[in-house]
Chains A and B, each alone.
Chain A
Amino acid sequence: MSRRLWLLLLPLGFLLVALFLYQRLQHDPSARDSALMAREFPTFEATTLHDEGSLVDQTLLHGEVSLVNVWGEWCPACKQEMPQLLALADQGIRMVGVNYRDTREKGVHFLNEFGDPFEVNIFDPDGRLGFDLGVYGAPETFLVDADGIIRYHHKGDISPQDVAERILPEVAKWR
């Protein structure tokens, strides 16, 4: 009886391992939470894209739920998500941009061409703030609550479907 039991257990074990591995095969390795989830937005000090003379820091994000979008003129997916960002701004959601690894000239040109949903754009030409945010490829979007805590992270461009299924529910949740 014990031999028969073993013979039964072997394929069963194999099946379990195979199922586990198969299920992990569906898993997208690039889909992972930001390390900054539930942590404070990193401290920074930077000028804005439109005004070299102005200085902003993390207190910019206090007091209201904001969507912080990291973008650059050089980033094709950033162009694709622009209509969605404009629509979000139209719905009264506060949009803050981080102009990442770009020049002022190119950044401003981009906004003139594709529209400007942002209340303000943090100018981050050397990617210092992007690094502290753990950004490894634009576009990335962070939902920051009124206390300046990062509550949601979206990697890649925001599709109209993402707006309805992820962004709007998350904004509603943290407002």
Chain B
Amino acid sequence: MALIRTLAVLFLLLLSASVVAEGIELREFDDPVLAQRYHALTASMRCPLCENQAINDSNSPISADMRERVYQMLHDGRSDSEVINHMVERFGDYILYNPRLESRTYLLWGLPIGLGVVGVLIVLLIVRARRHASAKALSVEERARLDALIQRRRSS
């Protein structure tokens, strides 16, 4: 009984997945490289309308238009960067999941690296300070004084 129920649930899940996928058309490619580029490009662009879906994952009308344009441009022999520029000119940097490296985005790309470097520096400084502290725990004079104190106590 439980097995049947599980199977039924699985079946319904599969059904709903196919319903969702229906909004996104299938495209035929003669060239597997072109197909690969198409999939990579449509996965790297964010739908302008639906906030966090790639255009290959969204069935909004604008995503369909954008996929169609990507498809056409690839068939016309345009390069990946030409396709990306074409889209950014119209829909803005917003659609790029990977922002481009330019003066405006130096902070964005540089901050993680910068913070990592600062972190390593802080750890190094702490380690060095500790090592220094334990090595310098007692100077020669201090040790002599300590010995003298111990001696005095013993002798008294």
Contact = CB atoms under 8 A, between A and B. Distances in A.
A125 interface: no
Interface string A96-133: 00000100000000000000000000000001000111
Q: Chain B interface residue count: which class?
A: 10 to 19
Contacts, number: 33
A131 B51 contact: no
Main secondary structure of the interface of B (DSSP, over half): helix
A137 B49 contact: yes
A35 B91 contact: yes
Nearest to A131: B65
A101 B64 CA distance: 13
A134 B92 CA distance: 8
Interface residues of A, number: 16
A85 B13 CA distance: 47
Interface in A34-60: 34-36
B50 to A, nearest CB: 9
B89 interface: yes
A101 B61 contact: yes
A5 B55 CA distance: 49
A81 B130 CA distance: 69
Contacts of B65: 127, 131
A35 B88 contact: yes
Query: What is the predominant secondary structure among interface residues of chain A facing chain B?
Result: loop
B94 interface: yes
B69 interface: yes
Nearest to A137: B49
Contacts of B60: 136
Interface stretch (A25-33, A86-94, A165-173): A25-33
B69 A136 contact: no
Contacts of A135: 62
Given A35-B90, A36-B90, 15 more contacts: A29-B51, A32-B92, A35-B88, A35-B91, A35-B92, A127-B61, A127-B65, A132-B90, A133-B90, A134-B90, A134-B91, A134-B92, A135-B62, A136-B62, A136-B91
Interface of B: 48-49, 51, 60-62, 65, 69, 88-94
For the complex of A and B, list the 4 residue pairs with the smallest distance between their C-beta atoms, beginning with the closest: A35-B92, A136-B48, A134-B90, A136-B62
Interface of A: 29-30, 32-36, 101, 127, 131-137
16 contacts: A29-B51, A30-B51, A32-B92, A34-B92, A35-B88, A35-B90, A35-B92, A35-B93, A131-B69, A133-B90, A134-B48, A134-B92, A136-B48, A136-B49, A136-B60, A136-B91
